[in-house]
Amino acid sequence: MTGIVLAVHGGAGRLARRKREHPKRLVYEEGLKQALQAGHTVLRKGGSSLNAVTKAVSILEDIEVFNAGLGAALCADGSVELSASIMSGKDLSVGAMVGLSRAKNPIRAARTIMGHAHGLLFGRHADAYAEAKGLDMVQPDYFFTRERLRQWEKYKASKRIALDHDEDSAHGTVGAVALDRRGNLAAATSTGGLVNQLPGRVGDTPVIGAGTWAQNGVCAISATGKGDAFARVAFARRVADLIEIGDMAPLEAAHEALNAVARVSGEGGCIIIDASGQCFMPFNSKHMLRGLIREDGVPHVAITVDDFDHSSEDKFGVGAESSR
């Protein structure tokens, strides 16, 4: 299988299957399609996989129904702390930012630190670096939405910390993986974290090898779900190692890693593109917002395990049941 490939996700969680006609379903699907089409345009014009995943994720960060950038989840003190990471499969260069509150697009901020001796920056220093690089900056209240404030008040009152997905919501961490015409892989992930999380918490998203990994000749991965569990099992690097060293097929490797996540009480999923351009999107949660676009430029999106063509060579949701 050859040609350009781009996959995106908008989070995984517990949106019940019976809510197939969720009132925001079309918004989720249109957001995924916008990201796919924007990233595909980059790839079609000969652009790099790095530029494609940056573009796709930045589009999702600007759509408030996802938990990244505008509309991100709020911490226990009502603040917003955004994290993102990006990785090049060509040379294993990385960039990550943690605890951003003013950089409008966290993934673009993470991209600015790639190639620097320091691959990860935190908090006000990360924001200051992004600003010095000329990125668009905003006030923290730009990220707040009415729905987010309502959600935060609900969980604050109950003293609960929650994955940003429940029976009424399908927000979530966003990510993208891509293969360009030169055969280079790249991955990017961006999040607002958990609802009502402790200020200063760091999940899997900005941790290279946990929520994000890209390696030419192996695969590109972006994960979503209960980030602390994904970090505990070094999820993304585990999948890559099982493929490279364990000689497992990508889907089998993802199942094995998701089983490890489940053993530490985690749930979620990932999107994977391997070196040949095959795409896999397994998850062990009730849903995962996801999409794929290939050379023909036709975007395909899905939410539940049933939302795809089972005859497709791309594994849009295969393994969801077996990984539970």
pLDDT score of 163 more than 80: no
pLDDT mean over 171-182? 92
The alpha-helical segments, DSSP class H, found in 45-162 are 49-61, 106-112, 123-132, 146-158
Q: Which 3 state secondary structure label does DSSP give 236? A: helix
**Residue 173 catalytic?**
yes
Place of tokens 């969801």: 320
Q: Distance (Å, rounded) from C-alpha 3 to C-alpha 284?
A: 29
State percent of the chain over pLDDT 90: 76
H helix or E strand, kind and range, residue 167: none
Per-residue pLDDT averaged across 45-68, rounded? 97
Which domains does the chain carry? 5-302 (3.60.20.30)
What's the whole-number mean pLDDT along residues 293-314? 76
Average pLDDT on 149-170 reads 64
pLDDT score at 138: 98
CA–CA separation, 173 and 187 (whole Å): 14
Which pLDDT belongs to residue 310?
40
Name 259's bridge partners.
none
Whole-number pLDDT of residue 21: 55
Contact between 286 and 323 under an 8 Å Cβ cutoff? The reply is no
Q: What is the per-residue pLDDT for 324?
A: 30
Mean of all residue pLDDT scores within the chain:
89
d(CA 205, CA 168): 24
> What's the whole-number mean pLDDT along residues 145-157?
82
Residue 286 confidence class, pLDDT cut points 50, 70, 90? confident
Q: Which of the residue ranges 23-32, 55-64, 206-215, 261-270 would you say has the lowest mean pLDDT? A: 23-32
Portion of the chain with pLDDT greater than 70, in percent: 86
Count of alpha carbons within 13 angstroms of residue 183, beta-carbon side = 6
* Average pLDDT of span 253-268: 96
Q: Which of these is catalytic: 54, 112, 173, 304?
A: 173
Cβ count within 10 A of residue 62:
17
How far, in whole angstroms, is CA 53 from its chain's centroid? Answer: 10
Mean pLDDT within 272-296? 95
Element (H, E) at 201: none
Q: How many CB atoms lie within 10 A of CB 128?
A: 14
Distance CA(56)–CA(105), nearest Å, equals 11
pLDDT digits (tens, 9 = 90+) for 4-21: 999 999 998 876 544 455
